[in-house]
């Protein structure tokens, strides 16, 4: 038989969220619910629960209807996405700070983070915030840009700890020359949303180190503080050092529909002066066949004036949940951050093992959370609470946390 890909063998454990789902199923099998009021509730994975709102939904329906008509039918489209959608994203999301031909429509941010790894090659040093969304690290291991697990992290990856002490914005001093740096704001999992001076420091450091930032703005639509930047391109000179990935998943309820985008500015150049935009176009046209035309019709509707109102309403709904979770945990005297410009609350259980706290909350409250250690070594001792859920379930979960923790 064929030899196993050693990069897969390098992965320390299974992907975080299926592992949590496995532990939940095992718990439910061992401790079946006595009745509906006793069912296990999830504050775990960041998965949307509320229906797509009417105008956006109508866009999807219309997209599907057109496909069944001779005039409306389309087959493969441009791999980079419908020109009209690329223009709409450039106009509505970036107010002209990026050009339509710099926007590449995708089937979601996670998929693009996976494909982006092909741009970099195995020699480029990888740097991540610690803790961070696991796809940056696991994807780098799969792409061969990082080595085996080495106790408290993977070989070849520079971890920048984001801690209570540094306000969850990392010390950038260790960023290697010529590195790719995955950076997420509002952050998954800490919920920290960077200020303009912080992001300016990030961009300035990246430029000095000739590093490339992959800026994950999947939660930008949750920012309510008008002072906080929603895109890295609001920062001076970011177009010379940053790619931005984004998604309709959380803002429009498209986690299952699958639609996102990546911005690769034309100004981005490799060390040898060659265009990163040209290479990304080559990768996308080679191994991606474009996002679903139905999803793109829905995306266009979501970016119409009414659709933007729906994005606001949907994100407000989850932010109310986040505020409820934050108040409950603070009421218990548990130090926590996030939950205001972000759908995640990051809670500290100092001196405890995250998986042990995860188990305790599951047993005592029948509530699923996400252990901080699953996001990186600096996540140890923390728990992530997700605000994605039906309001009545969140209320019930908070009641249980308040009474039983």
Interface residues with ligand PGU (CB under 6 A) are: 17, 45-46, 108-111, 133, 184, 188, 216, 218, 247, 249, 255, 260
For residues 299 and 171, what is the distance between their CA atoms, to the nearest angstrom? 37
Give how far the C-alpha of residue 199 lies from the chain's centroid of Cα atoms, to the nearest Å: 18
Quote the least distance from Cβ 21 to ligand PGU, whole Å.
Answer: 11
- The residues facing 149 across adjacent strands are 154
Going by their DSSP bridges, the two strands 180-184 and 367-368 should be labelled as unpaired
Cβ distance to ligand PGU smaller for residue 125 or 299? 299
Cβ distance to ligand PGU smaller for residue 271 or 298? 298
Cβ distance to ligand PGU smaller for residue 120 or 261? 261
Quote the least distance from Cβ 90 to ligand PGU, whole Å.
Answer: 19
- The residues facing 311 across adjacent strands are none
Quote the least distance from Cβ 132 to ligand PGU, whole Å.
Answer: 8
Q: Are 206 and 212 in contact (CB under 8 A)?
A: yes
Quote the least distance from Cβ 365 to ligand PGU, whole Å.
Answer: 19
Quote the least distance from Cβ 378 to ligand PGU, whole Å.
Answer: 16
CA atoms within 13 A on the CB side of 311: 26
Q: Are 330 and 336 in contact (CB under 8 A)?
A: yes
Cβ distance to ligand PGU smaller for residue 43 or 270? 43
For residues 365 and 355, what is the distance between their CA atoms, to the nearest angstrom? 15
Quote the least distance from Cβ 73 to ligand PGU, whole Å.
Answer: 27
**Residue 243, Cβ neighbours under 10 Å: how many?**
26
Cβ distance to ligand PGU smaller for residue 211 or 217? 217
Cβ distance to ligand PGU smaller for residue 108 or 191? 108
DSSP-based three-state secondary structure for 249: helix
């Amino acid at each position: 038989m064929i030899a196993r890909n050693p990069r897969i063998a390098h992965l320390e454990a299974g992907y975080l969220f299926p592992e949590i789902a496995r532990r939940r199923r095992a718990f439910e099998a061992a401790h079946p619910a006595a009745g509906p009021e006793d069912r296990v509730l999830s504050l775990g994975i960041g998965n949307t629960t509320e229906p797509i709102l009417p105008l956006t939904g109508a866009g999807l329906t219309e997209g599907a209807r057109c496909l069944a008509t001779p005039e409306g039918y389309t087959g493969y489209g441009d791999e980079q996405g419908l020109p009209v959608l690329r223009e709409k994203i450039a106009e509505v999301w970036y107010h002209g700070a990026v050009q339509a031909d710099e926007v590449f429509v995708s089937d979601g941010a996670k998929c693009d983070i996976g494909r982006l790894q092909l741009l970099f090659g195995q020699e480029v040093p990888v740097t991540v915030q610690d803790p961070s969304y696991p796809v940056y690290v696991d994807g780098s291991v799969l792409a061969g840009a990082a080595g085996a697990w080495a106790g408290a992290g993977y070989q070849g990856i520079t971890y920048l700890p984001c801690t209570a002490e540094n306000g969850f914005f990392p010390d950038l001093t260790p960023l290697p020359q010529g590195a790719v740096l995955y950076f997420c704001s509002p952050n998954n999992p800490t919920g920290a949303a960077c200020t303009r001076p912080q992001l300016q420091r990030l961009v300035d450091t990246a430029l000095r180190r000739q590093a490339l930032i992959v800026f994950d703005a999947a939660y930008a639509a949750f920012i309510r503080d008008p002072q906080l930047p929603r895109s890295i391109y609001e920062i001076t000179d970011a177009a010379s050092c940053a790619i931005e990935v984004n998604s309709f998943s959380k803002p429009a309820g498209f986690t299952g529909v699958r639609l996102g985008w990546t911005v690769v500015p034309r100004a981005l150049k490799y060390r040898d002066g060659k265009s990163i935009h040209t290479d990304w176009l080559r990768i996308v046209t080679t191994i991606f066949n474009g996002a679903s035309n139905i999803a793109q019709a829905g995306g266009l509707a979501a970016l119409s004036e009414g659709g933007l109102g729906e994005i606001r309403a949907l994100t407000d709904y989850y932010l109310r949940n986040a505020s409820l979770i934050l108040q409950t945990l603070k009421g218990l005297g548990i130090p926590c951050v996030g939950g205001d410009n972000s759908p995640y609350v990051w809670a500290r259980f100092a001196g405890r093992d995250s998986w042990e706290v995860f188990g305790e909350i599951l047993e005592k409250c029948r509530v699923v959370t996400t252990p901080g250690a699953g996001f990186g070594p600096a996540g140890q001792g923390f728990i992530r609470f997700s605000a994605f859920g039906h309001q009545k379930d969140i209320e019930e979960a908070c009641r249980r946390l308040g009474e039983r923790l």
